[in-house]
Amino acid sequence: MAASTTAPMSTDTFWADAGRHLVRYGGEFTPEIIDHAAGSFLFTEGGRKILDFTSGQMSAILGHSHPEVVATVQRQVTSLDHLFSGMLSRPVVDLARRLAGTLPAPLEKAMLLTTGAESNEAAIRMAKLVTGKHEIVSFVRSWHGMTQAAASATYSAGRKGYGPVAPGNLAIPTPNTYRPDFTTDDGSLDWRRQLDFAFDLVDAQSTGSLAACLVEPILSSGGIIEPPVGYFAALREKCRERGMLLILDEAQTGLCRTGTWYAFERDGIGPDILTLSKTLGAGFPLAAVVTSEQIEQEAYERGFLFLTTHVSDPLVAAVGNTVLDVLTGERLDERARSLGAFLRQGLVDIAGRHEVVGDIRGRGLLAGLELVTDRGTKRTSNELGVRVTKRCLELGLHMNIVQLPSMGGVLRMAPPLTATEEELSLGLSLLDQALHEAAAAR
């Protein structure tokens, strides 16, 4: 029988138990015991106050413990929290209808799940069934999740040591304007020539079974890389020519994060299938697959099966409805645009003081700062990124998302949409100090 605890264990015992009983799943754990969180801040058991520039994992777009979300959970959990997967409740249907209302036609059919990996898994499964094909194309710097099909389409990390991935996964070059591989006469990225080359490679490798292209509008784990305007319209055309579906993964960019409700709005195109997660639940495990009536009908007729324990759960669906209420009522798309401009200007000012800042990128309240050893060669510095990230935490700023060794050179920031200019200024000040100290120690 497991022993119960009546008093908090000592700090030493806590870390000893963590070391003894927890599986490490993504590098080392942050060396802090978090006691509670509110708004833009985390509070440790030792009394430290840490500004959260990661929104908990890009998810808590309304900040931590938003009063309206707290009230929704308290109310909903007392009446209806979980159901048999084939049963429906009003929060689920309400959220599906309201999500459709935020999206352009013909995206109107939604499936509510738990995580980004699960939503991508379902989207890939649906695309394969509807097209009758199995090959999936994605960017070489992509991150779509850690379950089988999603991990097979993920190239930025985690591919080595696990054996064969699902057959038929093909990678295309990432259109990185900071490090162009195909260039025009003026040295800028020639993305049209790159895209043509990419699909020449796809066609050469394909067995004639191209089902879908799964991409992020802004590659987050890849280093906050945003393809140029026009790229996604051309990519969609490449898909159309080959009978492929276009799946957009907006786990980290959807629901006002980038200053519009969805990042794909910038390009004036829509996906065949859209996946959402992270921001939809504002920190709760809620994800969605949204597609057209035509694709859903064909999938249904072919026997689409994605029956999971927590599909269409009413508790998190109620939270999702509250998230939409707050995003709409507080016009957080507009707020993300204005705060994003404020944050970007602060990063530009920092770049003017630190030669190690090679590039600033992102949109709205999703920002990336690439650190380099030399601006001329653009040689990235994972080691410097690790030092800056560590020093930021010591100063009271948690600001770099997914601190894996291969991603350390780009500092990735995503403050809550509810943050204030004062909080952003504090974060910028702490980052400025950490960069100064890290550069001085080189």
Which of the residues are catalytic? 143, 216, 249, 252, 278, 412
Nearest by Cα to 344 from 426, 428, 267: 428
What is the spatial distance between Cα 300 and Cα 293, in angstroms, rounded to a whole number? 10
Pairing status of strand 273-276 against strand 41-44: unpaired
Read off φ and ψ for residue 189, nearest 5 degrees: -65, 125
| Residues sharing a CB contact under 8 Å with residue 397, sequence separation 6 or more, in sequence order | 50, 51, 53, 426, 427, 430, 431, 434
Question: From the CA atom positions of the chain, what is the Rg in Å?
Answer: 22
| SS3 per-residue string spanning 136-147 | EEEECCCCCCCC
Q: Where are the alpha helices (DSSP H) in 22-147?
A: 55-58, 67-77, 90-101, 116-131
Q: DSSP 3-state assignment of 423?
A: helix
What is the spatial distance between Cα 362 and Cα 88, in angstroms, rounded to a whole number? 39
As given in the structure block, the two tokens for residue 126 are: 């649906």
Please, what's the b/e burial string for 64-97 (b: 16 or more CB within 10 A of its CB; e: otherwise)?
bebebbeebbeebeeeeeebeeeeebebbeebbe
The number of beta carbons lying within 10 Å of the beta carbon of residue 38 is 13
What is the spatial distance between Cα 188 and Cα 57, in angstroms, rounded to a whole number? 33
